[in-house]
Structure 1
Amino acid sequence: MQQVSSQTDLEYAFLFNLKKVNSINTEGFRPFFNDLPVDPYIKGQYRFRRLSRFLVSGDKLIKLSHGYLFQSQAYNPLLGDVKREFAELDDALIELDIFKNLILAFSDSSKLHPEAEIGVHQIRTTCSPNNLGNPAPEGIHQDGTDFIGIFSVGRDNIQGGETHLYNAKKEKPVFNKILQPGELLLVNDHEFFHFTTPIKSQNPAPGTRDVFVLTSPSLISD
């Protein structure tokens, strides 16, 4: 586990933290990535996405009402100030113990307030021999939230997709790693910019990168 924390009076619990979530067998998630709707806000039809929001109550999840994702242009120069609406996560996925384990791992590791709202983005990025897939088309950025969790579900026939953290946009990354299935990267969004490099096929066939991205607050509004 990698952790950085240099301020004893830091308002938040950590700066960034990489951990393996041993209570999750990622194979249980894989079927739910095969029917994701295409992200209509990104050109090229290479990204697929669902989105829901939750509260944690003890060891239970409470699913909140449907809403739209909104970020200001200060944080997202590509799609800032745009109300984006995505299909909800599959009910059968939400009922899985491994899904609850993922949310609890994010909540517990981030030391979230009991009433904190969590947004869960289920994202597949695809590529082909002739087309790259771009997990972060907005470039090096912050999300405008407090905490971010990036959980790797699967990497099939791809190279690239390395996640970087930066103290500032024009500086060299202070962290860079290809996240492997089962790894969860927790990031204090106030302290770091983040980016994931494009993916390309490893051999002449389509490739996929599957992740959950969790945020708190959720950035979802009614």
Structure 2
Amino acid sequence: MQTVWESTELEYAFLFTLRKVNSINPEGFESFFHNLPVDPYIKGNYRLRRLSRFTVSGNELIKLPHGYLFQSKTYNPLLGDVKREFSELEDGIIKLDIFKKMVLAFSDSCKLHPEAEIGVHQIRTICSAENMGNPAPEGIHQDGTDFIGIFSVARENIQGGETHLYTAKKEKPVFSKVLNSGELLLVNDHEFFHFTTPIKPQTDGLGIRDVFVLTSPSLLTE
């Protein structure tokens, strides 16, 4: 695992890390991003999303029953106190060995308790010449969980989409980077706020940003 920090912020180094997961070929995920439903809670139809939750048992994943995403307005001023429901991840992607490796990399890196719930958000953000895509419409925020993982699957025909971490909303970011395909950013949600800048196309046509966001606890409720 490679630990990443700003040179003047060494004291925060152990609270977020960036690693390249060499055992995962992100191209194996890409076909499953073509059939994502539109996120009905965001105006503009530029974000598509699925969501499921799991626990880890040894080296296996256990899929848990369907649940609802819920965050308070303290953490999500845009959609806080709204019970949000999303379609489950497709069975085909859950059966992939690379999917299991991704969830286990998150669980192992964060040293999660064996019974900890993990929420896996599969998200595509789209942009066009007429409309930018906003991966974080709620602005600089925390999720209200313990740990967050962002696994980058693909970036196609886009500029922007730089991920930032902050120790406070009004401070300068202590981490700023475009996450490349195959990179996994791990963040302690208690210590940092996060944000990803809007995306726009580099050339004519659509641009896309495909990621998985993993959270533990899952933020899902029955």
TM-score bin, normalised by smaller chain: over 0.9
Percent of aligned pairs with the same amino acid: 76
Contact 1:73 1:80 in 2 (8 A): yes
> Is residue 3–residue 15 contact of structure 1 (8 Å, CA) maintained in 2?
no
CA deviations on 1:116-150 (whole Å, 9 max, x unpaired) are 10000000000001110000000000000000000
Task: Give the conservation status (yes or no) of the 8 Å contact 1:165–1:174.
Answer: yes
Give me the TM-score of the superposition, normalised by structure 1. 0.96
Q: 2:171 is matched with which residue?
A: 171
Deviations 1:169-219 (A, max 9, x none): 000000000000000000000000000000000001100000000000000
Residues 62-115 of structure 1 show CA distances to partners (whole Å, capped at 9, x for unaligned) of 000001000000000000000000000000000000000000000000010111
| 2-structure distance, mates of 1:182, 1:56 | 21
State the distance in 2 between where 1:14 and 1:215 align.
18
Unaligned stretches of 5+ in structure 2? none
**Number of the residue aligned with 1:187:** 187
Indicate the residue corresponding to 1:10 in structure 2: none
Work out whether residues 152 and 180 of structure 1, in 8 Å CA contact, stay in contact via their aligned partners in 2.
yes
- Paired residue total: 217
CA distance in 2, matches of 1:80, 1:130: 28
How far, CA to CA, are the matches of 1:32 and 1:143 in structure 2?
Answer: 25
Scaled by the length of structure 2, what TM-score is found? 0.96
In the other structure, the counterpart of 2:97 is: 97
- 8 A contact 1:147–1:186 mirrored in 2: yes
In structure 1, what is the Cα distance between the partners aligned to 2:185 and 2:3?
A: 9
User: Partner of 1:107 in structure 2?
Assistant: 107
- Match of residue 157 from structure 2: 157
Shift of 1:3: 4.4
Give the alignment's Cα RMSD to 1 decimal: 1.2
Matches within 5 A, 1:110-129: 110-129=110-129
Give yes or no for contact 1:161–1:197 (8 Å, CA) kept in 2.
Answer: yes
